[in-house]
Amino acid sequence: MADHHHPLPPLTLVLGGARSGKSTYAESLLTDVAQPVYLATARAGDGEMVDRIRLHRERRGAAWTTIEEPLDLVGTLSRHAHPDKAILVDCLTLWLSNLMLENADIGQEIDRLAQALPGLKGPVLFVANEVGLGIVPDNAMARAFRDHAGRLNQSLAARCQRVVFVAAGLPLLLKDSR
């Protein structure tokens, strides 16, 4: 409930459930950043997601630049991270979902992201879904997704200086190691 806004640490993770307000909260952390960048991991072909990207764009306003990249998160972050910018990745869980659809080696992709994080040349905020707090899903794909998402979140949380859990739009600080 303190003012977590200033200054941005190198790496921030904002965790939360569906419609928890996590993206809006993450955006609020970039209010005073001169060059905020929105890195959307949604695929352009997904109608609902296109609507959401448009709504996000309108809500965020003119200062924001938008990049759309469903798969090559490491390359995109490496190219765009810069000390004068701040990149909001929305969201990690959708990126994971895209990778699974491509039959990628998820463990390897999580490791690649983890290894790239310390070398990024500017602040990055990651938004991710917490998906492991319901009943065990019936189908094996959903269980695998849940396992991967949990491991991805743990990997990121261990490497981010600040981790915030958002519920009903309210932030709860889980880690602040600056």
Active site residues: 56
Q: Consult the annotation and say whether 150 binds a ligand.
A: no
106 CB-near residues (< 8 Å, 6+ apart): 96, 99, 100, 148
C-beta closer to a copy of itself: residue 17 or 82: 17
The answer to whether 88 and 40 are in contact (CB under 8 A) is no
Q: Consult the annotation and say whether 17 binds a ligand.
A: yes
**Least distance (Å) from a copy of itself to the CB of residue 33?**
24
Q: Characterize 47-83 residue by residue with b for buried, 16 or more Cβ atoms within 10 angstroms of its Cβ, and e for exposed.
A: eebeeebeebeeebeeebeeeebbbebbebbeebbee
Element of type H or E holding 174: strand 170-176
Peptide bond into 160 cis (omega under 30): no
Can you give the binding site for a copy of itself, defined by CB under 8 A? 1, 13, 15-21, 130-137, 142, 145-147, 149-151, 153-154, 156-158, 163, 165, 167-170, 172, 174-176
Structure tokens at 76: 């995109």
**Least distance (Å) from a copy of itself to the CB of residue 174?**
4
Q: CA 17 to CA 14: how far, in whole Å?
A: 10
Q: Consult the annotation and say whether 16 binds a ligand.
A: yes
C-beta closer to a copy of itself: residue 34 or 133: 133
Q: Consult the annotation and say whether 62 binds a ligand.
A: no
**Least distance (Å) from a copy of itself to the CB of residue 148?**
8
C-beta closer to a copy of itself: residue 60 or 85: 60
List binding-site positions: 16-23, 40-42, 57-60, 68, 90
List binding-site positions for GTP: 16-23, 40-42, 57-60, 68, 90
